[in-house]
Amino acid sequence: MMDVDRGIRVAVDTGDVTLGSEKSIQSLKLGKGNLVVVAKNSPETIVEDVKYYAELSDIKFIMYEGTSVELGSVCGKPFTVATLVINDPGDSTILETLG
């Protein structure tokens, strides 16, 4: 879990990351992004939509083991983050870490 947390944080700080369920789903519909991360307490409808569009666009999907509050703090944000899309990982090795 720590590797994923660090990978997400570095991607947010040095790369291009889309935060938020609506914006993430819009990105996925356009086939944009390399990896989508969804907090485990996200509403089931969001999880299903994100999974569906990620599969259509062949974008890797991971279920984050923490809550949206924890995911928000990993991103360094003072709000909850249920979903995020990593468009460009920047200096993060998260894409390699997850294979």
Is 26 part of a structural domain of the chain? yes
pLDDT at 97: 84
List pLDDT tens digits, range 61-87: 999 999 999 999 999 999 999 999 999
Above 70 in pLDDT, residue 96? Answer: yes
Look at the chain and report how many structural domains it folds into. Answer: 1
pLDDT value at position 98? 81
Tell me, yes or no, whether 82 lies in a domain: yes
CA distance 70 to 51: 21
* Angle in degrees, 0-180, between the axes of helices 44-56 and 21-29, rounded to the nearest 10: 20
Q: What is the pLDDT of residue 50?
A: 98
Model pTM above 0.85: yes
| Residue 99 falls inside a structural domain | no
CATH of the domain at 24: 3.30.1330.30
Q: What domain range includes position 50?
A: 2-90
Q: Mean pLDDT throughout 85-91?
A: 97
- Mean pLDDT across 19-33: 97
| 98 within some domain | no
Note whether residue 97 is domain-resident.
Answer: no
Whether 68 maps to a domain, the answer reads: yes
pLDDT on residue 63: 97
Q: Give CA torsion, residues 16, 21, 22, 27, to 10 deg.
A: 40
Confidence at residue 1, expressed as pLDDT on a 0 to 100 scale: 62
Over the chain, what is the mean pLDDT? 96
